[in-house]
Every structure is written in C-alpha cells, then in structure tokens.
Amino acid sequence: IKIKITNIDIPVAFASAFEGEIIRRKDMQVEFDGSRVDCAELVQTCDASEIEDHKITVVGPEVDDMELGSKNSIAYVVKVAGKNMQPDFEPVIERKFHNYINCIEGVYHTGQRDMQRIRISIDAFNAGFKIKHIGEVLYASVKNEFDAVVDKCEVVIYTDPAECTRVRHEVAIPIFDKRDERLDTLTDESVDVYYSCILCQAFSPSHVCVVTPERLGLCGAVSWLDAKATHQLDPNGPCQVITKERPIDENLGSYEDVDEAVQKFSQGALEHVTLYSIMQDPMTSCGCFECICGIEPFSNGVVIANREYAGMTPLGMTFPEMASMTGGGVQTPGFMGHGKHFISSKKFMKAEGGIERIVWMPKELKEFVAERLNKTAQELYGIENFTDMIGDETVATDPEALVEYLTEKGHPALAMDPMM
C-alpha cells in the first residue's frame, strides 16, 4: 500500500509498520465487534452539495465514556463526492479501511462490511486517541489514495447503539445485498473479460488470482465487479483485463488468453491455469484463502476447511496443516485455496463434477453457505437440502466414519468416478 500523507492529525503514529500489530485483551481499552453487536463500515456516494469536506462527526459516546474492556457498537459512513466517482468504487474503497485503520499505532482492525472488529489499546487511549481520530484517518487516507475520484469527503461515526442498529439494518445491509444481487446475475459466460489480481505478490511472488463473476478471489474480498472497479481506478494497478477469446476447454475453464496472462503476471513461473479444475493446472494459492479444499480419496470427494475452524478434518489435517501444503503461490493439484462464496458457485470444481463432490465441511461453514449451496444443488442436480448430506465435525473427523455417514445419506460423490 502507498500512503503519502504521513502527518495525519492524530495523537499516535500512523505507518504501515503497525499493520501487523495485535492488541491482546489485557492491553485493550475498548473493542467494537460486529459479530456480537451492530456495526457497519460503508462508503456512500453523495452529491457534492451534500458534503462538507473534512467534516468529522461522532454521534454517540466517545471512548472516554466507554467502560474499560467493554464491547461496543460502531458504524462509520464515509460520504464521498466527485465527478468521476461511481457506486462500483464504493466496495473497493471500503476494502481499504482495513489497511488504513490497522496502520494506526495501538488500533487493530479485522473483517469488513458489518462484521468488522476494532480494538483500541490502553496506550493509544492514554495518548489521547479518540473515535473521531478514526474519522481523521479515514478522511486523509481516502482523499489521498482515491484522489482521482474523490473530491470531497465527510465522515460520520456512530457509536450510539440505537443509531448503529439503524445504520446497519436500514442503510448498510440493503446496500450490501444490492451489490451481491448485481453480482449474482452475472455469469462467466455473460462477460467479455476476466481480471487478474496480483495484490498478494508482495508475499507470494508468483501468485496470480484470475477473478471471474462466478469465481471471486481466494481471499473472498475481490469480486469480479471489485476487480473491474480496481482496474478503472488504477489502470496500471493490480487488476488487469484478461480477454477470453481463445478457449481451449470450456469444461476445465482453460483459455489461451488466461494462460498468456498468468505467464506474464507470474513472470514465467506459471504456464497453464484452469478456472474450474482442482486436479489439472489449478489456480495457485497465496496465503490469504478463506477456505482450503482438498481431495478425500475414500469418498471420491473433497473436504473444505475454513480459516476459523480450529479442529481436525477427515484428511487427518487441521486448517494450518492443509494451508502449509497449499500456499506460497505454487500449484498443488488436489488442494486449492478459495473464497467462501465460491462454494456455492456453479463453477466450483466443475471439471471434476462440481459441488456434488463436497463431502465434509465444518458445521459453522456449512451453515454459512447452506442457503446458497442448497439453491445451486437444486438447480444443477435437483437435490433438495444438499447440505444435509455433507458431513461435519459433529458426525465425523475420520474417513471411515465419514464414508459411513455419506452412505447412510446417499451422498452422490460415492457413486462418482475416483478423482485420482
């Protein structure tokens, strides 16, 4: 990340050196937690006349009024205006909040949308850090990095719990839903181009994500629309157009254009990449996959584990163990990192038979994807309640018990061809 403004008016330091800083519970003054209380972070495009540039408003209590160690609500709306601004840029700007807020010394941020989590350290609080300073950081960073499209910027930060509930449910969620619906109507066939993303080459030098409408980046944070907007905002930046005029095999999702692009963007480290196969030239993985999927030979299927899952999988490996054989920007047939939303995609492992291969997922992940996954299974194979057939840690963490469960449920993977 490039941050040009270094003298933001806040009482603590602001630098990318603080990005990896973790604030432990005992060192924390207060926290904000979207998984427990109503929170949201949002960019909203407004008319220039509606915005007073550099105005920062806090609606509700300041940190001083919050109890030491308490969990609170927070919702910030960054209003922007500019003649080149487009609503499609909103999520791209929002996604950067994570980096911006993490660059504050003594402040930690994870998550996005209405699931963000922020901690302010006791040291930062003692140095005089206040909620309004989050606004200063967002203002300065957005104006600085998105100066090509943002002419005016105003920040409203809500800490009043009732206001946070209102902003989350009445303003933010309807906007997030609308964005997701727009993406849902797009298919890989309905667009003319895909996009590359090489944002992660800082850590995985040969890694290239090929982002399509039905396959988002493996971090889960870059959809095709986001990649498109990123390219428009920064034509020489991390997301480049990949044409798809010369298909090789539609079932595998292989194209001469895609191969040429990954060769170029990986500096020759990759030669062939397919979009829809986990066995043949699968996409590489960096380190920030939301999930990892790996083949489970006893059931002819695949097991998926998400990063949050701390337990054992039927592969005899935990998530970190699976991650150690998947990351680093290399191709590992049989293992693949991917985003959570990809699980319900009609293009998920299409070459190997698709989502019918999924035999196991942690319960929490299964519940998260259930609605969308069941809809896809219904549409593709006419299977009702497909997630009921998929094992989880409450029924099996070893292959024998899993196969027994799958047999009992009549899981379709058992009758499919072996993957190896």
Contact pick of 124, 150, 153, 200 for Zn ion (by CB under 5 A): 200
Shortest distance, CB of residue 204 to ligand SF4, whole angstroms?
8
Q: Which is nearer to ligand SF4, 45 or 232 (CB)?
A: 232
Query: CA 176, CA 181: separation in Å to the nearest integer?
Result: 9
Query: CB 292 → ligand SF4: shortest distance, Å?
Result: 13
Residue 288 touches Zn ion, criterion: CB under 5 A: yes
Q: Hey, which bits of 167-276 come out as E strands?
A: 193-197, 209-211, 241-243, 247-249, 254-255
In the complex, the smallest distance separating the C-beta of residue 57 from ligand SF4, rounded to whole angstroms, is: 32
Q: How far is the CB of 340 from ligand SF4 (least distance, A)?
A: 13
Q: How far is it, in rounded angstroms, from Cα 51 to Cα 43?
A: 13
Q: Of 8, 40, 157, 286, which lies in the binding site for ligand SF4, with binding defined by CB under 6 A?
A: 286
For ligand SF4, the closer CB: 125 or 289: 289
* Nearest alpha carbon to residue 273 among 335, 187, 202, 210: 210
Residue 111 C-beta: closest distance to Zn ion, Å: 16
Using the rule CB under 6 A, give the single segment among 15-23, 48-56, 198-206, 267-275 that binds ligand SF4. Answer: 198-206
Q: Give the span between the Cα atoms of 158 and 372, in whole angstroms.
A: 32
Half-sphere exposure of 29 (CA within 13 A, CB side): 20
56 binds ligand SF4 (CB under 6 A): no
The residue at minimum Cβ distance from ligand SF4 is 217
Question: Total number of residues binding ligand SF4 (CB under 6 A)?
Answer: 13
Q: Mind spelling out the 3-state secondary structure of 293-337? A: EEEEHHHCEEEEEECCCCCECCCCCEHHHHHHCCCCCCCCCCEEE
Helix pair 224-233, 90-102: axis angle to 10 deg: 80
233 binds ligand SF4 (CB under 6 A): no
Is 225 near ligand SF4 (CB under 6 A)? no
Pick from 140, 252, 278, 288 the residue near ligand SF4 by CB under 6 A: 288
Task: Give me 410's structure tokens.
Answer: 């009549």
Contact call for residue 218 and ligand SF4 (CB under 6 A): yes
358 binds Zn ion per the rule CB under 5 A? no
Q: Which does 358 bind (CB under 5 to 8 A by kind): Zn ion, ligand SF4, none?
A: none
The DSSP H or E segment spanning 128 is: none
CA 318 to chain centroid: 21
From candidates 209, 278, 291, 358, binder to ligand SF4 by CB under 6 A:
209
Q: Which helix (H) or strand (E) holds 31?
A: strand 28-33
Residue 222 interacting with ligand SF4 (CB under 6 A): yes
DSSP 118: E
* 167 touches 75 (CB < 8 A): yes
Buried b (16+ CB within 10 A) or exposed e, 193-220: bbbbbbbbbeebebbbbbbbbbbbbbbb
Options 85, 104, 172, 200; binder of ligand SF4; rule CB under 6 A: 200
C-alpha distances in angstroms, 401 versus 124, 286, 302, 389?
51, 32, 15, 14
Q: What are phi and psi of 363, to 5 degrees?
A: -55, -45
- Residue 43: closest CA among 86, 113, 101, 94: 94
Residue 258 engages ligand SF4 in binding (rule: CB under 6 A): no
227 binds Zn ion (CB under 5 A): no
Binder of residue 217, out of ligand SF4, Zn ion, none (CB less than 5 to 8 A by kind): ligand SF4
Q: Output the smallest distance, CB 146 to ligand SF4, in A.
A: 18
29 versus 112: smaller Cβ distance to Zn ion: 112
Is the CB of 125 or the CB of 265 nearer to Zn ion? 265
Determine the Cα–Cα distance for residues 67 and 18; give it in Å rounded to an integer. Answer: 25
Residue type, 395: V
Report residue 99 CA to chain centroid gap: 14
Asked if residue 275 binds ligand SF4 (CB under 6 A), the reply is no
Q: Which of ligand SF4, Zn ion, none does residue 262 bind (CB under 5 to 8 Å by kind)? A: none
Interface region with Zn ion, contact rule CB under 5 A, candidates 68-76, 136-144, 279-287, 342-350: 279-287
Site string for ligand SF4, 160-189 (x = CB under 6 A): ------------------------------
- Count the neighbouring beta carbons within 10 Å of the beta carbon of residue 95: 18
Residue 197 found at the interface with ligand SF4 (CB under 6 A): yes
Binding site for Zn ion (CB under 5 A): 200, 286, 288
Note the residues at the interface with ligand SF4 (CB under 6 A).
Answer: 197-200, 209, 211, 217-219, 221-222, 286, 288
